[in-house]
Amino acid sequence: MICFKEKKIFLLICYERNRHQATFKITLDVPSDLTALSNMPIADENLEGNIRTVYFEESPIMSTYLVAVVVGAFDYIEEMTADGIKVRAYCPVGKSDKGKFALDVAVKSLDIFAKYFSTPFPLPKLDMVAIPEFAGGAMENHGLITYRENDLLYDELLSSTARKQRLVIVVSHEVAHHWFGNLVTMEWWTHLWLNEGFATWVSYMATDIIFPEWKIWTQFLKQTTYGLRVDALEQSHPIEVEVHHARSILEVADDISYNKGSAVIRMLQGYLGDRMFQKSLSSYIKRYAGKNAKTEDLWSILSEESGVQVNSMMEAWTKQKGYPVISVKSRDNILEFEQSQFLSSGSHEDRLWTVPITLSIGSYDRHKTLPLETRFGELDISELVRSADENSSSFKEKNEDNCDEHLWVKVNIDQSGFYRVEYEDKLAARLRKAMEGNYLSEMDKFGILDDAFALCMACKQSLSLLLSLMDAYRKELDFVVLSKLVDVCYKVVQISGDAIPDLVNELKQFFMNLLLFSSEKSGWESISGESHLSALLRGEVLVALSTFGHDNTHKEAIRRFQAFVDDRNTPLLSADTKRAAYIAVMMNTSTTNRNGFQSLLNVYKEANTVQEKERVLCSIASCPDPDIVLEVLNFMLCDEVRDQDATYVLAGISSKGGEVAWRWLKENWELISTKYGGDGMLIQHLIRDVITLFCSNEKADEIEAFFESRKRPSFDMNLRQSIEQVRIKARWVENIRREQSLRDQIKHLARKK
């Protein structure tokens, strides 16, 4: 029996060795006016004075880490699924209507997964609870999912389009865990990816079914990129990584387990086919329901069902770290492939993978698939080339030079494989021409730019080549492609501040010119009936223009912000455009001009919604004045900012605030360590977001020296990865400085309209 006497919200989650499974029969003593929840429905309750004793039904067999109780003051709303499962959303008192959207998503997700896995939801009820202080996004406790408030509460006026989308993915992710994770549980944390990789992958599947117009599988590429970025580090780890103690779990609950894991699943699904993959997963769930499973158990069933030796094919992808870059060359009508491990540091390690190569030649109608199992491979494309000559009259009309050597070749169609591609110069030139002619899919345009940026950072391609490629995206209007372009712009500006500081303004001008076409199309005002993706694009592009200091954007943003300060209900500033306005305010703030900053602080303090508070915190450290950044960081430590929300502030620190942020971190380490050290997630974010602002080996040495006596198991790997990223950028800085024609090229691009 657990007794609660104070009137606060209590959350108890057990994290133990999950191979220990049992049934649980929980009893709680709680203040009579508080709600008590656990994994199972209430069986009975007794009232004695002001204390209520609550008896919960006995649970089915489950892992100890999924046991949870919540006690607090809540309002709730409920719905029933088609199978009769009662689903409730517990929200702060007076805000139950804000849980309606998440509740609807949960009900639909339950029906989708029950059909997809051919297995019913394993419990009689599902409760979802908004927790006011919660470091993670959510936790899939069996039948009692707990969320950060922002990931469960949706306000049609105050929630941005991006927040709405994240809510759908997070809710469906946690619901999916009731099959992958709760019903079938990983044998040990080594196999964490079976929980998180699959829940990530299947949450995108559910989102695509519920909102097909969102083109969520195209957006999935952003998740794949996060995995590729971390797995290109020497300090990465395999998907299956030895975990010797539960204290180390948070270190491996990272982009490898979630994003590489889900990307590898997507790659395997594409190789085996959708129907075969679904049939195999259904068999896996049925065989291991109520039991523990390891990666080999899943591979075994996939092999049985498909006839493909999945274990031998996938072993390298899960048991060794890293991934390959495929170098592609053309000789006559022969394509030559070579695989080698891709490392951002430029180092070399002798590893091989079975790589499912997919490619198209001149058209997506002419495609080929082959497994590359050795370091070198070849493919005769004569038949595909002849097909192009015979059947592409429309292609000929649009391309005067339609002879064999001008056919484009795209490897890794729609970025379905977890690898990068490096083309020889003539193939890269053909691809760019195809892109300018609008022959390539959004996924492939995203992938070409993402690969080019990664190769540039690894010093395998010049910044000049990357900038030339970026210029080809000038008329782009697709949200996912533009979001990748914006991401690359941010990173190039950051590295240029160290490598070529006298050219940063010209670079920003070039990048602003790239984005103005889409910005002028989308404007500041939403259009009745516009798509979800159009709304996402508007926010993304305006934030970028504000960040780069676009004068007209700043003027308009500040005008609209002032209208918002005067009237919080003004239609001039929507949830999707507020962050751009807040950044513009902070970009124009200094110690001698604090009015906008003070107004923004007032917005934060007066806000009674988590959505508004998050938006302010994400923007408030973007000021170029180091003294203001220091003030913001100290404000973050005060009681007015929840501990969980520190991550929003840190992610928004401007590059000019790097030195002051590092000094602040060192001077306040004991306080910071005490305040956030109890939760590995928060301290990991803090370390990464401050350290990775730097681009020099000297700073990396200084960081290593500072943490030499302050390391902890909960953030040791994160620290090593962050320091490695600093050294990678230091090498990139030196490589950029050696480029001879870069200065003239940047000046030319800055003038180009």
Q: Which residues are catalytic?
A: 174
Burial class (CB in 10 A: 0-12, 13-18, 19+), 475: exposed
Strands in 35-38's sheet, in edge-to-edge order, are: 10-13, 68-72, 35-38
Structure tokens at 137: 């996004």
Asked if 52 and 15 count as a contact pair (C-beta separation under 8 A), the reply is no
Asked if 264 and 272 count as a contact pair (C-beta separation under 8 A), the reply is no
* Among 56, 57, 154, residue whose Cα is nearest residue 100: 154
Backbone angles phi, psi at 193, to 5 degrees: -60, -25
CA distance 294 to 292: 7
* Among 414, 487, 411, residue whose Cα is nearest residue 444: 414
The DSSP secondary structure of 99-145, one letter per residue, reads GHHHHHHHHHHHHHHHHHTT---SSSEEEEEEESS-SSSEE--TTEE
Asked if 449 and 483 count as a contact pair (C-beta separation under 8 A), the reply is no
DSSP state of 578: H
Asked if 337 and 357 count as a contact pair (C-beta separation under 8 A), the reply is yes
Asked if 723 and 704 count as a contact pair (C-beta separation under 8 A), the reply is yes
- Packed helices 578-587 and 595-606: angle between N→C axes, nearest 10 degrees: 140
Per the annotation, binding residues are: 173, 177, 196
CA distance 631 to 617: 13
Asked if 393 and 426 count as a contact pair (C-beta separation under 8 A), the reply is no
Largest Cα separation within the chain, whole Å, is 89
The 10 Å CB-count burial string (b at 16+, else e) for 266-303 is: bbbbbbbeeebbbbbbbbbbeebbeebbbbebbbbbbb
Cα distances (Å, whole numbers) of residue 485 to 423, 453, 464:
20, 10, 16
Per the annotation, binding residues for Zn(2+) are: 173, 177, 196
